[in-house]
Each structure stands twice: as structure tokens, then as C-alpha cells.
Chain A
């Protein structure tokens, strides 16, 4: 039982997960689950009670039962008490103050990484304003490597997302080339297949690998099929750079995705054995999103933001090259409008970074959400200021296969230009070498390098 009294009114919260849910800034998914604060004052009361809670409480009281959930077991069993020691005596509120202070920097935050649990970072995010989420996250860079170096300060990378309604090879290639001409694709060239059919995925993998090989691009490719499909394809020696999988924050949510931790371990081992990375061995790519557990009825009455942070607790033990929240894809019953989507994205980026993940974000919305491209412009800029590792490059921001809107190749150019951010160093060098960028690193207008000709002739 947790309680607080404000001006004579007392507020009671039966347990830790109720306190966490009531302290969460308003969003439709928690209302749908029936666990949100019932008034604005109750929400602040919960935030006040949460601020006074010792961080160590989260090591003693599990939100999802230890015996029934392998994600909880992973989180608690892998907690590093030695790393936790410097902040062991702090409350959640004192931890926020510490994160904002000069004592928290790249070095100290890195050392703290495995001393933090997802629930601790979720808790502190709930009492942070958006500005705090940006300010603190900007202190913490997470660098990963496969064929290039992602996440360095002063860099912004992007995924080329060349989806096509029927996985047509020429259509995918056309979208990918458009992205490369606009300096996108250093995070990954990654297709969501329209069908999980293994043959079709194999063809897409070969197409992307040939594109990368022909143009000698220092990047990686990925077909975002289910992990079991990718495992099959790796057995057949398909050119798999990265293993993709959607993950959630409870064992039951993961089970609804058709996965468990053992399957993720197996797939990572298989990808490492292919030994395709040239400068690093971060071989996993994860996507997440608030609300996925509730939509699978796998949420244990926990708020969706805390469960999202727990998904990062899963992700980090697999040392992914890439992980992004697909923040506005799930729809208005979970995140209603641009304000809720923006808040959720900043929380996700903050929590991921503190937990040591190379966070990216699919800045996006669906047409039944109360949001538009202006909201995406705002969020993209905020995330770039916060130091997001990568965002999506979708042709014209319109994904014609998944039917939602994200950020465009042009948006990536605009933000790099505004905030003086560059692509990953190896990729920036490649852009200069093939003549796509000028001496200032700006993308050339209408430049189609002659080196693209053989590829275009075959297409």
C-alpha cells in the first residue's frame, strides 16, 4: 500500500504497479486497460508518492510475478548490484535530480547501465518533463557496429524502408535507390516483407545483398521477417546480416509474438556464426512499441510505458545493432494524438538509452490517430536534439505496404542540415567517394553516380 496526502485529501495506491500506472502521464491505452489515474490531481499525487519511493523498492517488489514470467526473472537475475551501488540510497525523485546534475555524464551513466532495471528507469521517466527526457538522454550515447559505426555524437543515421505491397523486386530496388541518392540507409536497408513466405524473403535478402555488394556500401541489410523464418533462411546460407524480431515486455507478450528468450538466443548464435560483420558483431534488430502487451492481453495490469521499458530489458542482453520503438503505429486506442505519441517516443528513447540501448525511433502515426505530419516534424526534431541513433526513411513518408505515415528521406536530410548532424562516418565517406555529397557533406542535386549504372541496367 502506497499513500500520499495533498491538502487534506489522501490518495491510496494498493500496490507498486497501481502506483506506477496512476503516475503515468495520460494516454489512451492505460485508460482502455482501466488502470489510469481517474483525475489529474490523482496523477500528480501518484507522481509525488513515486518520487519519494526508494529505488531499491524495485529490487524487492516485482510488478509481474517472478515465478510466472521469464522477463522478470531475466531482469532481477541479471541486476548488477555493484553498478547500482552509487545510487542505491536514492529515491526516484532524488535519482531524477542526480540524472539532471553534472554528476551524470557519459562515463557515469555507462557504468550505471546494468545497475538499472527497466522499472527504475520507467519510474523516473514518469516524473520527468519532456525537456528532462531530452536533456538527460542527450548525455548518453550508445555506439554499435556491424559494417559501420552507429550512434556517435554528432551523427544521425536512418533506415531505408523500401516496402512494396507485393514485395516486387524492382519496386523495392527503386525505393532503396531513391533513399541512397538522398544519403539515407546508414542504419540499415530494411524491408518489411508483405508475406512471411520464406522463398519471398530469400529473394528479398539476395536483392538487398546484391545492391549493397554492387555499390560497395558500408551498411547492412535486413528483411524484417519473423525470427523463425530468418533462422530457416540462415540454415540455407541466405545472406542474413541482422536477425529481426518484434519483442514485448512480458513472457506472455513475447509468446503472442511466437517467441521466447531461448529462441532469441538461438537466432543470435546463428547470426554470429555467419560472421558477416566487418567491424563489429552487433547482429540483432528489434522493434517494440507501447501497447503491444495490452493488445495481446498480456499486460498483468501494468501500464504500457513500464512494459515497454521491460522490452528494453529483454533487448539489451542481445546487444542489438538497432532497436526502435514504432511509436504511433499501434493506433489511437493506445496513443490517441500527437501529444501522446510525442510523449511516448521521448520516454522510450530516454529509457532505452539509460538501459544501454542504441535507440532509434519510427516517428509515425496512422490515419485514425489525431495526428499529422506537423506532429512528426516536431517529434523528429526533438528526438534528434535528444541524440536518437536513427530514424526511418520512407519514400515521401508514406508506407504503401503497411499503410501508415513515418518520416521521409527528405526529413532526414532536413534534420541533419538543421542540427549539423552527419551520417555514420564510414557511410559519409562512401557518399563522398561516389560523388553523392559535395565537399560540405551536403547531398548533391540530381546526382546519380555512374557506379549505379550496372545496377540500374539490370533492373
Chain B
């Protein structure tokens, strides 16, 4: 027989804070109430806009050069957003003109930073400069030869391989907008690759994910990135082998590489 005593709703609401999931949503019949429906629509709209937005390379170029940094702008072989989404191979390759431009900036570099919009220009817009500044501030500039900062339009993670190889950098750090989640349209990822060259696999990289104030903070991300850079240089590798060691020292935030984001 059914037990119809008053329900322990308070015990349930106590659980609400245990997860960011959309639980205990209000119902209208078998559907959601208007407000809950529109909240979802707004979240999806923000994620979609984040995917469609373009990197404002000009303004970012200005922001970086005004900080005294050398900057080179490049593009991938994907000409527009549609071909970027449909042809991952094009987003991983420089266009010919960009390659020529990069060649003239080539040198003997320990580390190159690449800033690419990936799937969220919003993430770059909000988090790339704060993270870059914190990272550069912590790097010992006497022992690290840093390449000009590369701003890449329509770039995927592996574009860093082409860029790093062309520049002659021993290590490349790609700052990239991650595939937007419904509740995180502006998540930044950083992928670090030792001895970058075309054809490197994701297993040969280390990744910091979910960089944003509500996720992995700039300070934490910069600290972890610095650790990875130093270890990568010392051991002359990145990837699975470095990850296992790094995890014991700096456990959270070092995630498995999600191939969907690369």
C-alpha cells in the first residue's frame, strides 16, 4: 500500500547544492515551466553565440602589443566557420601566406604561445590575456627564450604543431576556446606540446581544461602550466608519461585530453 505521509522535501532540497546539474526543475504538466524552459534556451543561445563569434584579432593584437609583446597574426587553412566545423584537417594547418609570415619570425625559441579561438572566441576574449600575463610574470625570462605571441584565426589545437615547427620552438602552449558547454560558454583550454611538428597526436600533449573564474582559476592554471613547462623542458617530453607524474604533484585540473575539443 502506498505511503502518503507528508514528504521530506526539505531533505531533497538539501541535495540540490551537491551538483551543478539541472535537478528538481519545476513542472508544468509533463513539461518544464516557462521560466525553466527559457533559462535553458538562454544557456543554449549563449553557447551557440560563443561558437559563432569570431576572434577580434585586431583588438587583441593592440592589447598585446601595448604590453610590449611581439605579436604575429596567422590563419588556418579553414577559410570560414563552416569549413572550420566541417573540416578539422584544415583547422590544423596554416594557410600558405601565414606560413611565410611565420618563417620570417623563426628563431631559436624555448617556448611559443599560440592564442586560437577554437570553438569559443569568448573564452579567448575573457581569459587569454589574464592567463598569459600571469604565466609570463612567473617564467624566468633569463632562462626562457620566448617566441613572438601567435594569434591564430580558425585554429584547432594541432595548428600549434604547424606553428611551433615553423617558428623553430622547442615547446608550444596553445591557448584555445573549448567547445562550449551549456553552463560554460567561455571555458579556456591550454595544450602543451614538446618538440611540436605536424602529425603529433593528442597522447603527446598535456592539457589544462575549464580555465575560467568558476572553474580552474588563472592563478592555479598559471602555476600548473609553469610546472608542466619546466618538467617538459627537463624531461624533453609532454603527454601521457608527463601526465602520470604531474598528477601526483598537481592533481586536479590536469584532465584527459578530450578529442572533441582538439
A interface residues with partner B (beta carbon < 8 Å): 28, 31-32, 162-165, 168, 170-175, 177-178, 295, 330-333, 336, 366-368, 372-373, 395-398, 400, 403, 405, 408, 410, 413-414, 416-417, 432-435, 443, 445-453, 456-457, 459
Contacts and interface: CB of A to CB of B under 8 A. Distances in A.
B260 interface: yes
A416 B30 CA distance: 9
Interface of B: 2-5, 7-9, 11-12, 14-16, 18-25, 27, 29-32, 36, 40-41, 43-44, 47-48, 50-51, 85-88, 119, 179-185, 259-260
B178 to A, nearest CB: 8
B119 to A, nearest CB: 5
Contacts of B180: 367-368, 403
Contact of B88 (A162, A333, A400, A417): A333
A368 B179 contact: yes
Nearest to A31: B86
A133 to B, nearest CB: 25
Nearest to A416: B30
B25 A433 contact: no
A167 to B, nearest CB: 11
B15 A403 contact: no
Q: Which secondary structure characterizes the binding site on chain B?
A: mixed
Contacts, number: 152
Given A171-B21, A435-B3, A367 B51 contact: yes
B19 A400 contact: yes
Nearest to B179: A368
A174 B18 contact: yes
Nearest to A394: B21
A170 B14 CA distance: 10
Contact of A174 (B16, B27, B48, B185): B16
A326 to B, nearest CB: 12
Contact of B2 (A366, A410, A433): A433
Given A367-B51, A367-B179, A398-B182, A445 B27 contact: yes
28 contacts: A164-B21, A168-B18, A168-B19, A171-B19, A174-B16, A295-B259, A333-B87, A336-B86, A367-B119, A367-B179, A367-B181, A368-B180, A373-B40, A373-B44, A396-B21, A396-B25, A396-B32, A397-B40, A398-B22, A398-B43, A398-B182, A398-B183, A403-B181, A417-B29, A434-B3, A448-B7, A456-B8, A459-B14
A400 B23 contact: no
Nearest to B7: A448
Nearest to B187: A403
A414 B30 contact: yes
Contacts of A336: 85-86
B21 A175 contact: yes
Given A367-B185, A368-B180, A448-B7, 15 more contacts: A174-B21, A367-B181, A368-B85, A373-B44, A395-B22, A397-B22, A398-B182, A400-B22, A400-B181, A417-B29, A433-B2, A446-B9, A448-B9, A453-B8, A456-B15
A118 B48 CA distance: 37
A449 B6 CA distance: 8
A453 B9 CA distance: 10
Given A32-B86, A174-B18, A396-B23, A413 B8 contact: no
Contacts of B31: 410, 414
B119 A368 contact: yes
Given A175-B19, A396-B22, A32 B183 contact: no
Given A168-B19, A373-B44, A434-B2, A449 B183 contact: no
Contacts of A171: 18-19, 21
A178 B23 contact: yes
B27 A448 contact: no
Contacts of A433: 2
Contacts of B18: 168, 170-171, 173-174, 459
Contact of B87 (A32, A400, A456): A32
Contacts of B3: 434-435, 449-451
Nearest to B43: A398
Contacts of B8: 448, 450, 452-453, 456
A367 B48 contact: yes
B12 A448 contact: yes
A238 to B, nearest CB: 22
Nearest to A174: B15
Contacts of A295: 259
A332 B7 contact: no
A267 B211 CA distance: 38
B220 to A, nearest CB: 15
Nearest to B185: A367
Counting chain B CB atoms within 10 Å of each CB, which of A174, A331, A400, A448 scores highest?
Answer: A174
A320 to B, nearest CB: 25
Which 4 residue pairs across A and B have the least CB separation, nearest first? A396-B22, A435-B2, A171-B19, A448-B7
B51 to A, nearest CB: 5
A434 B259 CA distance: 43
A414 B5 CA distance: 27
Contacts of A434: 2-3
Contact of B179 (A330, A366, A446, A447): A366
Contacts of B7: 446-450
A367 B119 CA distance: 9
A165 B30 contact: no
B182 A367 contact: yes
B36 A332 contact: no
Contacts of B4: 435
A332 B24 CA distance: 31
Given A395-B22, A396-B21, A410-B25, A405 B182 contact: yes
Nearest to B88: A333
